[in-house]
Amino acid sequence: MTSRRSFLVAAGAFTGSARAAANVEAKIAKKDFRGITRQDLGTPAMILDEALFEQNLRIMAASNKATGLNIRPHVKIHKCPEITRKQQALGAIGACCATMAEAELITNAGMKGVLYTCQPAGVNKISRAAALAKKSPTFMVVADDPITVDLLNEAAGAAGIRMNVFTDVFVALTRQGIQPGEPALKLAQKIDKSKNLRLAGLMGYSGDAAHTHGFEARRKKSMEDLAALKESVEMCRKSGLEVPIVTGGSTGTYNIDMPVLTELQAGSYVFMDTAYMAIGGKSNDHMYTDFAPALTVLTTVVSHTRKNQCSIDAGNKAMLRVTDQVKGRPEVKIQNQGAEYGMLHWTDTDKGFKLGELVEIYPTNLDTSVNVYDRLYIARGEQIVDMWPIMGRAGAVQR
Ligand SMILES: Cc1ncc(COP(=O)(O)O)c(C=O)c1O
């Protein structure tokens, strides 16, 4: 009898919490979070630990003050205007976006200084970039090709505006960027001479440096990668061009890139993921503890028919990966079991999981995990205190 009862309690049945769950949607719609805890949420769900998140924002803001680097944080990690607003309240000078949808979303939410860090190519993106620049004169784009510069100039002319354009310089990440030195200088001069464009500066995103393991190795890699950007900036300035902004950098290099950049595009620091946690920091070569892991995916144990293993309700659709980690149980092995299932394996028989138990998972890659959820539930201890929509993430009109 006792074991049956503890089974039901673990499964969340016949409890006050289960009754709250029944009308949780109606309460959320009214922004009434009283009495709502993790137990009431449908899983898998994304949970943001408010205290850790705010701590991460404060740590980055304090670092920026100390280093003199501005920050224009990347939106692609969270796709959430509430978060951009909080970053700006702590001194962020704008926001970086990886898609036009994000740029439109954040600009339409009233934010200034939005930089689309991917070159707009094709009719759809070029015309949307021009439309957004008309709406928000502080909107900025990047270009690594003279063809794009001509097309942007034409689109800006047709819209009757001057558009802010960065020269995107190759800094060891092969996906983007014009060759540094003479080619970068020529492109910057072309932007500067284009009637309807304004040279905003140079960008160089050194993505490989971001996740280089070990602080010294990361510092060395980032400085090596950015040397070419530095040289290009100097060439531009020597030629008489104004280069007001040099933008790039990441969560991994936030305290490294000061000699080259004027501003950082870091994004992941707000939440952190297991890939970042593994890069190591100044004080610990194996764990990057500068920022705290604030985001988890809340899952439920849905089957427990075997010893030392159980199934959770998060699999491919929840972007579960074997490199994710169970919060508080780093020794537990995670296995993906298909669309809706994941599996947990453990060896210590005294520390198992119960059917219906909630298990929180740190994702490996924030961008892809956040992209499959509609909501961030904000947790203050056990209580859910708010819900922020994750936006601009899918659908034809939202690319
Ligand atoms: C263009 C660009 N800038 C900056 C970043 C840095 O972001 P994070 O701090 O999340 O590494 C990224 C991440 O992929 C990026 O694509």
- The whole-angstrom separation of Cα 35 and Cα 32 is 9
The C-alpha atoms of residue 248 and residue 253 are separated, in whole angstroms, by: 10
**Best CA proximity match to 291, nearest among 69, 63, 78:** 63
Cβ atoms of 172 and 227 closer than 8 Å: no
CA 347 to CA 370: how far, in whole Å? 30
d(CA 294, CA 41): 18
Ligand 1 atom closest to 77 (CA): 10
CA of 350 to the centre of ligand 1 (A): 41
Q: Determine the Cα–Cα distance for residues 105 and 391; give it in Å rounded to an integer.
A: 8
Residue range(s) in the chain whose domain bears CATH number 3.20.20.10: 54-277
What pLDDT sits at residue 391? 83
d(CA 208, CA 187): 24
* CA-211 nearest atom, ligand 1: 11
Residue 279 CA, ligand 1 centroid: distance in Å = 15
> How many angstroms is it from 367 CA to the middle of ligand 1?
10
Ligand 1 geometric centre to CA of 265 (Å): 6
| Per-residue model confidence as pLDDT tens for the chain (399 residues) | 334 444 444 444 545 555 567 789 999 999 999 999 999 999 999 999 999 999 999 999 999 999 999 999 999 999 999 999 999 999 999 999 999 999 999 999 999 999 999 999 999 999 999 999 999 999 999 999 999 999 999 999 999 999 999 999 999 888 999 999 999 999 999 999 999 999 999 999 999 999 999 999 999 999 999 999 999 999 999 999 999 999 999 999 999 999 999 999 999 999 999 999 999 999 888 999 999 999 999 999 999 999 999 999 999 999 999 999 999 999 999 999 999 999 999 998 778 999 999 999 999 999 999 999 999 999 999 999 999 999 876 554 566
Cα–Cα distance list, 118 to 17, 142, 326 (Å): 45, 6, 34
Q: Can you tell me whether residue 347 is helix, strand or coil?
A: coil
CA of 254 to the centre of ligand 1 (A): 11
**What's the 2 CA to ligand 1 centre distance in angstroms?**
52
Q: Are 144 and 177 in contact (CB under 8 A)?
A: yes
100-108 helix and 81-89 helix, angle to the nearest 10 degrees: 60
Residues of the chain with CATH 2.40.37.20: 11-49+290-393
Q: At what angle do helices 50-67 and 81-89 cross, to 10 degrees?
A: 40
8-state DSSP, 364: S
CATH architecture of residue range(s) 54-277: Alpha-Beta Barrel (3.20)
- The span from the first CA to the last CA of the chain, in angstroms, equals 55
- Report d(CA 184, CA 187) in Å as an integer: 5
Work out the angle at residue 178's Cα, subtended by the Cα atoms of residues 172 and 180, and round it to the nearest 5 degrees: 70
Task: Print the SS3 string covering 208-239.
Answer: HHHCCCCHHHHHHHHHHHHHHHHHHHHHHHHC
Phi, psi for residue 202 in degrees, rounded to 5: -120, 145
Ligand 1 neighbours, Cβ below 6 Å, are: 74, 77, 96, 98, 117, 205, 207, 210, 250-251, 265-268
Full DSSP string of 318-329: GT--TT-EETTB
In sequence order, which residues have a C-beta less than 8 Å from that of residue 30 and are 6 or more positions away? none
- The residue among 265, 236, 267 whose CA lies nearest residue 249 is 265
CB of 217 within 8 A of CB of 231?
no
Kindly provide the residue ranges of all beta strands, DSSP E only, lying in the chain, ordered along the sequence: 45-49, 70-71, 95-97, 114-116, 140-143, 163-168, 197-204, 245-248, 263-264, 295-306, 309-312, 325-326, 333-336, 342-345, 358-362, 375-380, 383-389
Q: What is the DSSP string of 135-158?
A: H-TT-EEEESSHHHHHHHHHHHHH
Residue indicated by tokens 């978060």: 83
- Token reading at 319: 């972007």
CATH topology of domain 11-49+290-393: Lyase, Ornithine Decarboxylase; Chain A, domain 1 (2.40.37)
Structure tokens at 121: 């190519």
Q: Out of 57, 59, 74, give the residue to mutate to test ligand 1, the one with the largest number of ligand atoms within 8 Å of its CB.
A: 74
- Mode of pairing for the β-strands spanning 333-336 and 114-116: unpaired
* CA atoms of 388 and 219, how far apart (whole Å): 35
